[in-house]
A and B are shown apart, each in its own frame.
Chain A
Amino acid sequence: MRIPTDARRRLRRARLILLGAPIVLVALLVGGSPAAAQDPEPTPSLIPGPPAPTPIAHPGGSGDNQCAACHVSLDDKQQAITQAWQEGIHGKGGIGCADCHGGDPRSDQITVAMSEEAGFIGIPSRDDTVGICGSCHSDPERMGQYGLPTDQYSKYWTSVHGQRLLEADDTKVAICIDCHGSHAVKKASDPTSDVYPLNVPQLCSRCHSDPTLMESYGIPTDQYATYEQSVHGQALIGNQDVRAPSCTSCHGSHAAQPPRSSEVVDVCGKCHTATQDLYLESRHAELETAAPKCWTCHGTHDVAKSSEALFFHPEDDPPDYECTTCHEPPDMTLKLNVEQFDNEADRRCDTCHHPESLIYPQVEAIAGALAGASSAQETAAEKVERARSLGMLVDDAENALAEALTAYVQGQAAVHTTLLTTISGHTDESVAKANRAEELAQGKLDESDFRRMAMIVVIGLLLANVVILYYVLRRIEHGQDQGQDAEPSP
């Protein structure tokens, strides 16, 4: 993996040197520094998980289950357990009590069925549970008929949950049943299941939002609250859009762990394919591991709708430029840490590209190109709206506005390339289309003005006619009066 990347970089470097742009050279010095080339996050070595045990052997076939006959009529708790099992996928699929608890399911005698001789284990310990589930679920023979994958068991041991269990025998970590349930196991595609995509954030937050539980691990507990407010959370929880990412979309489910910085672009790019392609064209992407990643600008759990505010700090709030924001002591290599960008206010271009830097004018130019297109659209939209409010039909202007918007949104997406020419190509087109819309709207406004002018002329004419007719009437009445005076009517 590394060799082709290096080769590619060398090729690119050669090309860029040929181009000779000073800004590029500066960036190259940073990007090509040996510190940046070595992986700052070496993959930690994993404690290997145990091999999957063999499934619990018990007498009797899959049809035998005398346990339920008694347990359904015991106390409320036993009754609930039996019912949950019956309604669950295991109960329906003929996986009985003894498959997990051992014992002899053929017998309805407690002394026989639940005896040690019959291999009864009772409630399996949390340590053993993963193995009991894994004994069947890692067996391709058994799982084939259900079309289920068999890698969950091995994946689990690679997860932070599994590793912690192996490393410290910490049974507080999540095991299979914490997410899937024990007796009432449901399919992931069942909307009432806890592991149904829409329910996953709630499921994870059962533990991860619990301060007492998380305290010992030093993990924050605000992820759910933050996620809920993010664009992703609003889409999934608010709009019930199953395509939106839940916790597991980025962290994985069975192999749950925080995505490493080097993986982030691929994790986000899983859905944001077009944006990933654009990003990979950028100077940022060339910086490899030290590069600004998705989270540098967009955050992690709190991804918000992006806006032009991502370019600069507001005028009144200049960032405090500290070397450590982007450089890591002691050798001050370029390194961006997630924690440094926790605060939304720090996720701006000028957090790294301070105003004296060589790259700053390009950042300004990019922001300016988008702002120009945006304001051109605003002006045009305002004019179109004015024409519409005057009762004019503005179809053609609206078409041009839609085209301007298309180019503008493309320009916004192209910001990920950080290439000014690519971005301004889109924004120039957007400005041209917006100007066209404005021109059309202006035509309507002129037409409306003409109507008003014509109206004034017409009103003038009408009033002149009123005056004339009134005058004529008065003359006639005058004549009539004179006639009456001369010859009084009988």
Chain B
Amino acid sequence: MATSQAAPRGSSDGVPRRRFLGLLLGFSVVSLGAMVAAPIVAFLLPPKSTGAAGGGKTLVGTVADIPLGQGKVVPVGSTPAIIINTEQGVKGFNAICPHLGCIVAWDQGAGNIVCPCHDGRFNASTGAVVSGPPPSGLPPLDVSVEGEEIYVVSA
């Protein structure tokens, strides 16, 4: 708005008018350039968060974190997952109990997955309901162990 009001004053004679036009165009080019360049540069910089590198695999821990016979609940994207190091290998399941939506936990003593809300229990290697109110088992996740590191691979 200010620029258009300022215009008539500069137009009185040739050279200052050209200079003024030049300034305006310069401002235009610089402001537009900055506007476009800023998000692009920010986009190109590596992300600040140390989280998932955007792959299909999420690092959920190491074998040292979850030794044989133990389990742990970890976040994988939008849902919590439970990772268990069983005799049959490292298994992972969606940790949301299908009964009322509580997050399940690992029961070291009983050797199965337990929902703390209503004592629903799930098999550690298949996710199937062992006892309690859950209407269905826990959906299994694709888990891969590479060296010491445990990943959940999204399907």
Contacts and interface: CB of A to CB of B under 8 A. Distances in A.
State yes or no: do A and B come from one complex: yes
Interface of A: 239, 241, 271-275, 277, 394-396, 398-399, 402-403, 405-406, 409-410, 412-413, 458, 461-462, 464-465, 467-469, 471-472, 475
10 contacts: A274-B118, A274-B132, A277-B119, A399-B75, A405-B102, A410-B117, A461-B31, A464-B1, A465-B28, A472-B21
A413 B118 contact: yes
B31 to A, nearest CB: 6
Nearest to B24: A468
Sorted from nearest, which 5 A-B pairs have the closest CB atoms?
A: A274-B119, A395-B78, A406-B102, A409-B117, A406-B103
A402 B21 CA distance: 60
B3 A406 contact: no
Contacts of A272: 118
B67 interface: no
B4 A471 contact: yes
Contacts of A403: 80, 103
A475 B17 contact: yes
B7 A471 contact: yes
B153 interface: no
A464 B103 contact: no
Given A399-B78, A402-B80, A465-B31, A475 B21 contact: yes
Given A409-B102, A413-B118, A461-B35, A468 B75 contact: no
B140 to A, nearest CB: 19
B100 to A, nearest CB: 5
B32 A405 contact: no
Contacts of B126: none
Interface residues of B, number: 32
A467 B3 CA distance: 8
Given A406-B103, A461-B31, A468-B3, A273 B119 contact: yes
Given A471-B7, A472-B24, 4 more contacts: A275-B118, A413-B117, A462-B35, A471-B4
Interface in B10-34: 11, 17, 21, 24-25, 27-28, 31-32
A279 to B, nearest CB: 13
Contacts of B89: none
Given A405-B102, A465-B32, A395 B4 contact: no
A385 to B, nearest CB: 14
A458 B100 CA distance: 46
Interface residues of A, dominant DSSP: helix
B116 A406 contact: yes
Contacts of B28: 465, 468-469
B34 to A, nearest CB: 9
A273 B132 contact: yes
Interface of B: 1, 3-4, 7, 11, 17, 21, 24-25, 27-28, 31-32, 35, 75, 77-80, 96, 100-103, 116-119, 131-133, 135
Nearest to B11: A475
A410 B32 contact: no
Contact of A467 (B4, B101, B103, B132): B4
A410 B119 CA distance: 10
A178 to B, nearest CB: 32
Contacts of B17: 475
B117 A468 contact: no
Contacts of A271: 133
A241 B27 CA distance: 72
Contacts of A402: 79-80, 96, 101-103
B7 to A, nearest CB: 6
A134 B105 CA distance: 49
A413 B115 CA distance: 12
B132 A464 contact: no
Contacts of B4: 467, 471
Contact of A458 (B27, B35, B77, B102): B35
Contacts of B96: 402
Counting chain B CB atoms within 10 Å of each CB, the highest count among A398, A402, A469 belongs to A402
A396 B17 CA distance: 57
B54 to A, nearest CB: 13
B72 to A, nearest CB: 15
Nearest to B14: A479
Nearest to A478: B11
Contacts of B78: 394-395, 398-399
A271 B118 CA distance: 10
Nearest to B116: A410
Nearest to A409: B117
Counting chain B CB atoms within 10 Å of each CB, the highest count among A273, A406, A458, A467 belongs to A406
Nearest to B2: A464
Given A398-B78, A410-B117, A472-B25, A467 B1 contact: yes
Nearest to A399: B75
A89 to B, nearest CB: 30
Contacts of B77: 395
B80 A399 contact: yes
Counting chain A CB atoms within 10 Å of each CB, the highest count among B1, B11, B117 belongs to B117
B21 to A, nearest CB: 6
A469 B78 CA distance: 47
A471 B35 CA distance: 21
B3 A464 contact: yes
A197 to B, nearest CB: 16
B80 A409 contact: no
Given A274-B132, A475-B21, A468 B35 contact: no
A469 B26 CA distance: 11
B93 to A, nearest CB: 14
B98 to A, nearest CB: 12
A468 B80 contact: no
B102 A241 contact: no
Nearest to B23: A468
